[in-house]
Amino acid sequence: MDCRNTLLEAEGDIEKALQILKERSLFQAQKKAKRSTTQGVIEAYIHTGGNIGAMVEVNCETDFVARTDEFKELAHHLAMQVAAICPQFVSREEIPEGVDIEPEKVCLLLQPYIKDPDKTVQDIINETIAKVGENIKVSRFNRFEVGN
Amino acid sequence: MDCRNTLLEAEGDIEKALQILKERSLFQAQKKAKRSTTQGVIEAYIHTGGNIGAMVEVNCETDFVARTDEFKELAHHLAMQVAAICPQFVSREEIPEGVDIEPEKVCLLLQPYIKDPDKTVQDIINETIAKVGENIKVSRFNRFEVGN
């Protein structure tokens, strides 16, 4: 019983720590949100067999960060997310007025992240912002499926 | 002088042979032009450094041909062409009425092919049609450039 309690406490601690990390990333992201992002990369992902393809433009502040592994990895995962989950818009702001849809389903940034559905895509972008120390924006994406 | 004449004759023969090949490909392509193309691949090309990316959908008649090296190579070269030469439309038919532009500059199919500017992109598609024995269409493409 003691052992079980210790385990439960440890789990609680981990959850708290994750929450603190998430809040820190969000705080860092918000601080940088107005900085202009003119650099970045174009990344593409072709699903096995070539039936689905996705391309994204992810921007940051400097060419230096655009060349880092953390940033390129983020771009790669975003292209995979687009290929797999088929978002319609980048963010809530892009949904035309009067259109009645669930933003969490159709907006890339609000979707659960495919590799960790407890986080949103915006959460993992915030984590990368905290890591690389620059503002990061997804400016556009495109998804092709054969015959669609 | 004899030698020079022989050379000139040989060059003339090669030119004639190429012309015949081109006409044959065109004839084969025209014969197949109405066949429906519901299979194919999505292919992407990211220019070194990740500043430019292009994605194309190329269609053929069967999944079998879509998996051949010839077809995949064509799709790859078309994606490179889009990244490098920045077409605006697939074909002449897509140019909106009343828009005054040079179709040979803005239409992918009419542009000189980057790897052999004596041919158009449509010529190399026709060559692949002749090789694989199926109708081939480019249905769409997209090109992203960082910050554009």
Residues of chain B with pLDDT under 50: none
Q: Are A78 and A56 in contact (CB under 8 A)?
A: yes
B142 vs A40: CB contact, 8 Å cut-off?
no
Q: Considering only residues A86 and A26, tell me which one the structure prediction assigns the higher pLDDT.
A: A86
A43 vs B51: CB contact, 8 Å cut-off?
no
What is the value of ipTM here, to two decimals? Answer: 0.87
Q: Which residues of B touch A78 (CB under 8 A)?
A: none
Q: Are A111 and A79 in contact (CB under 8 A)?
A: no
Return the number of other C-beta atoms located less than 10 Å from residue B145's C-beta: 14
Report the residue count for chain A. Answer: 148
Confidence of residue A53 (pLDDT cuts 50, 70, 90): very high
Confidence of residue A7 (pLDDT cuts 50, 70, 90): confident
Q: Considering only residues B146 and A29, tell me which one the structure prediction assigns the higher pLDDT.
A: B146
Q: Provide the 3-class DSSP secondary structure of residue B8.
A: helix
What residues pair up with A107 in beta bridges, in sequence order? Answer: A89
Q: Which residues of A touch B142 (CB under 8 A)?
A: 55, 142, 144
**Per-residue pLDDT tens for A91-139?**
999 999 999 999 999 999 999 999 999 999 999 999 999 999 999 999 9
Q: What does the pLDDT average to over A53-63?
A: 97
Closest Cβ opposite residue B42 in set A39, A42, A46: A46
d(CA B146, CA B122): 28
CA A79 from centroid of its chain's CA atoms: 10
Q: Is the pLDDT of residue A64 over 90?
A: yes
User: Which chain B residue has the Cα nearest residue A64?
Assistant: B49
Q: Which residues of B touch A86 (CB under 8 A)?
A: none
Distances (CA, A) of A23 to A16, A118, A123, B43, B141: 11, 15, 10, 39, 40
Judging by DSSP bridges, how do beta strands A39-46 and B116-120 pair with one another?
unpaired
A41 vs B66: CB contact, 8 Å cut-off?
no
> Kind and range of the H or E element at A65?
helix A63-66
Confidence of residue A33 (pLDDT cuts 50, 70, 90): confident
Q: Check CB contact of B76 with chain A, cutoff 8 Å.
A: no
Confidence of residue A1 (pLDDT cuts 50, 70, 90): low
What residues pair up with B55 in beta bridges, in sequence order? Answer: B44, B142
